[in-house]
């Protein structure tokens, strides 16, 4: 199964709105989109993306994965504190260029 961009389906040409009653008697309005259009709809990429610190910063004190250009480039876990990027509660990282949220932890089972 793949996730698709539903907004892209709204632009499919020559598709009319359909009006029907549901089981409660209320009107339902939807677009009857051909299967071919659904199959061709662009997929949504939910993988995490690197965010430039020039574009925005994470919420303060929220642990994130960061890329720093120190030591030739490396990945670290850190958060923004009052004095800047903090790692392990004390080390200030001056050269963070990008960050991304941490992934969800694995599920038990």
pLDDT of residue 109: 63
Whole-prediction pTM? 0.58
pLDDT of residue 51: 95
Q: What is the mean pLDDT of residues 58-75?
A: 89
pLDDT of residue 44: 84
- Mean of the per-residue pLDDT values of the chain: 84
C-alpha 13/C-alpha 9 separation (Å) is 9
pLDDT of residue 40: 82
pLDDT of residue 66: 93
Within a 13 Å sphere around the CA of 106, how many CA atoms are in the beta-carbon half?
A: 2
C-alpha 46/C-alpha 73 separation (Å) is 25
pLDDT confidence band for 90 (50 / 70 / 90): confident
C-alpha 18/C-alpha 3 separation (Å) is 23
The length of the chain in residues reads: 109
C-alpha 2/C-alpha 74 separation (Å) is 32
């Amino acid at each position: 199964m793949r996730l698709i961009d539903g907004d892209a389906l709204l632009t499919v040409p020559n598709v009319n709105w359909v009006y029907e009653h549901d089981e409660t008697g209320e009107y339902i309005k939807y677009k009857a989109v051909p299967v071919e259009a659904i199959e061709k709809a662009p997929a949504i990429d939910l993988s995490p993306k690197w965010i430039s610190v020039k574009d925005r910063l994470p919420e303060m004190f929220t642990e994130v994965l960061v890329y720093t250009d120190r030591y030739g480039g490396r990945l670290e876990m850190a958060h923004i504190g009052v004095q800047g990027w903090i790692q392990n509660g004390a080390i200030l990282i001056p050269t963070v260029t990008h960050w991304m949220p941490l992934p969800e932890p694995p599920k038990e089972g």
